[in-house]
Amino acid sequence: MGSLRTLFILITFLSLEILILIYLFLMVFLHNFFAYFKDRYSVNKRKWLESKIMESIQNPQNIPYLSGTYDLLVSLENFSRKVQGEEFDVVKKHVISQSLLSKAYRYVDSPFWKKRNFAARVFSLFPRKEEEPLMLKLMDDKKFLVKSVVGIALVKIKSREGVKKLIDLMSRSTGYAYYFYKDILLQGELDMYDILLEEGMHSEDEKIFKAILSIFANKTIIKPIPFLEKTLQSRDHLLIKEGLNALVRNPQQGSARVFMTFKTHPDEEIRAVAAKGLALYPTDEAKNTLKEMIQDSRWKVRFQSALSLKYTGEVEFLKRLKPEDNQAVFDTAQYVLEFV
Amino acid sequence: MDEGVKKKILVVDDDEAIISLLVRTFQVKGYEVIGLKTGAEARAFIQDEAKVGELALFILDRLLPDVQGLQILKEFQAKYQKKVPVLLLSSLASEKDVLAGLQEGAVDYVTKPFSIPVLIQKAMSLIGKNHG
């Protein structure tokens, strides 16, 4: 009796397991089945939408109503990567206003991040000042794929608050996110950098300083950077290095003297940037400083000094260097002459 | 352009939407556009001297699925030595990429996303210069 009962329980459990497996298999099959047709429908729909967008560019007085949410957004984004200009902007504005904007407004407060991402992408496609408050709200989102997308839109409309939020995010990020925000900020128009200059003047946060200087180290803004002096007096070597890099890219009055001041700094990275900066000044004083710096014990500093000497026309000097005087200096000079 | 002589423009781009767009754009200006999507098709076309002789302009994408656009450009220039102006169209926009294209013999380089009126203007100028 007992063994019969055990057998019965075993068979029941086995049957249940098999039923569960069949159910799971069926669900996976149905999911893949519908996904296949949904994808095909999407591809065809997007092709159709792209052809309608193209017709509209040719005939902007007669833009048809285009329905669709995600497919329409993707089609417009694809087109934006290929075409630009006033005609396309007219079509984009019309289509977004008619078909996508109202959904974007609703999705800003959605609990689902994909819908918030949709909203960010719509605003980014055709950013307007009117939507700035909603975009700023999305900038505070916890999802990277929401705030990063809307950051692009805020830079396009030169939003003061948006740019401040971006630099703040950049200063607190590392790795991919840091460089992503940096790239967004580097795409701004020249007058947008006034916001960063102002932020640099008033901020006490060293991380924000570093982030702003990192931007100016990669962008020529043709304006004085008033807080550079304070930066170069810091004890933080990384901050000094960023400041010097910004100075190389945006030379200020008296920059040559600043670079010369750092020729004996204990940090080799700083000495190397100072040598790089002196390439901008083909004066005797700067060249003599570089001729001293090429004797540095560290490769990085020697290399940069040799390169700067080459750029300032001191090729003959580099060729006259002898191995018996200093092998390391000679090797560095030869390397620069031959390979750079 | 002589009356009655219909000139052709060759467009090589793997993106069907770009080809369709350029077909419509240049049709309005009275040009027939031949659209090809791969490097292999482009290679076969440029072997035919008669067909190339009818071309007013060659618009070439740098990134094709099977072969580099610059390779096609090199082969085209080797055979036809700038008889037909070539305009490179590409999403590669760095100084190095633009220089590479121009050094291989392209007369102009347009980066994507491009403005349609600007492209038309450049194309018409190139065609006009070539006729002149």
Q: Does A44 touch chain B (CB under 8 A)?
A: no
Measure CB to CB from residue B116 to each of A51, A57, A78 and give the nearest one: A57
Q: Are strands B55-61 and B86-90 parallel, antiparallel or unpaired?
A: parallel
Q: Is B20 on the interface with A (CB under 8 A)?
A: yes
Q: Does A60 touch chain B (CB under 8 A)?
A: no
Sort strands A83-84 and B114-115 into parallel, antiparallel or unpaired. Answer: parallel
pLDDT, one tens digit per residue, over A210-239 is 999 999 999 998 788 888 888 888 889 999
pLDDT of residue B3: 43
Q: Is A78 in the B-facing interface, judged by CB distances under 8 Å?
A: yes
From the candidates A50, A59, A82, which should be mutated to test the interface with B, based on the most B CB atoms within 10 A?
A82
pLDDT tens for chain A, residues 1 to 340: 778 899 999 999 999 999 999 999 999 999 999 998 888 888 888 888 888 888 888 777 778 788 778 889 998 998 898 888 888 888 999 999 989 999 999 999 999 999 999 999 999 998 999 999 999 999 999 999 999 999 999 999 999 999 999 999 999 999 999 999 999 999 888 888 999 999 888 888 888 989 999 999 999 987 888 888 888 888 899 999 999 999 999 998 889 999 999 999 999 999 999 999 999 999 999 999 999 999 999 999 999 999 999 999 999 999 999 999 999 999 999 999 999 8
Q: Residue A38 forms beta bridges with which residues? A: none
CA–chain centroid gap for A50, Å, is: 28
Please judge whether A81 and B115 are an interchain contact, meaning their C-beta atoms are less than 8 angstroms apart.
no
Task: Read off the pLDDT of residues A88-103 as tens digits, 9 standing for 90 and up.
Answer: 888 999 999 989 999 9
Query: pLDDT band for position B2 (50/70/90)?
Result: very low
Please name the amino acid found at residue A30: L
How far apart are the CA of B98 and the nearest CA of chain A, in angstroms?
A: 17
Rounded to two decimals, the pTM is: 0.78
User: Are A78 and B18 an interchain contact pair (Cβ–Cβ within 8 Å)?
Assistant: no
- Give A23's contacts (C-beta < 8 A, 6+ positions apart): none
Provide the ipTM: 0.79
pLDDT in tens, B71-96: 999 999 998 887 889 999 888 888 88
Nearest-neighbour CA in chain A from B37: distance (Å): 16
In angstroms, the separation between the Cα of residue B11 and the nearest Cα of chain A is: 15
* % pLDDT > 70, chain B: 93
Cβ contacts of B24 on chain A, cutoff 8 Å:
54-55, 58
Question: What residue has token string 């200020």?
Answer: A252
What is the pLDDT averaged over residues B112-119?
Answer: 89
| Candidates A43, A47, A56, A84, partner chain B, best to mutate (most B CBs within 10 A) | A84
* B93 touching A (Cβ < 8 Å): no
